[in-house]
Amino acid sequence: MGIVDKRFGAELITDKHRVYKFDALECLMDFIQEQPNDYQQILALPYDGTGTLKPVASLVFAVSQEYKSPMGRNIAAFLPQAAPKGKLMSWEELVSSKP
């Protein structure tokens, strides 16, 4: 699957270098919960739409109706310096909250 909307995509790289692409962060989260492993990299696209994947540990996440993500859970990733005001979560907080 390719990433259609450059504001919401994500990518996961396994220890065996297999690459999985996701149209939305919620799909990535579901995949990780169904197949918990140690992954080489977990990346996401910041909402700014530039299309540059970043490690999820370097991003903050917001859940809001303002962000109409493809799968409907309205999750968006941001670089910390470009993040909106309001409740923001780290990747670990987001995954454990299961929005």
Is 31 within the bounds of a domain?
yes
Is the Cα torsion angle 82, 88, 91, 92 positive or negative in sign?
positive
The structural domain count of the chain equals 1
pLDDT in tens, 42-81: 999 999 877 899 999 999 999 888 888 877 788 999 999 8
CA distance 31 to 85: 29
| CA 65 distance to own-chain centroid | 16
Is 3 within the bounds of a domain?
no
Q: Tell me how many degrees the CA angle 71-89-61 measures, rounded to the nearest 5.
A: 40
51: left (phi over 0), alpha (psi -120 to 50) or beta: left
CA distance 64 to 73: 8
pLDDT in tens, 7-44: 899 999 998 899 999 999 999 999 998 887 888 999 99
Is 5 within the bounds of a domain?
no
Is 23 within the bounds of a domain?
yes
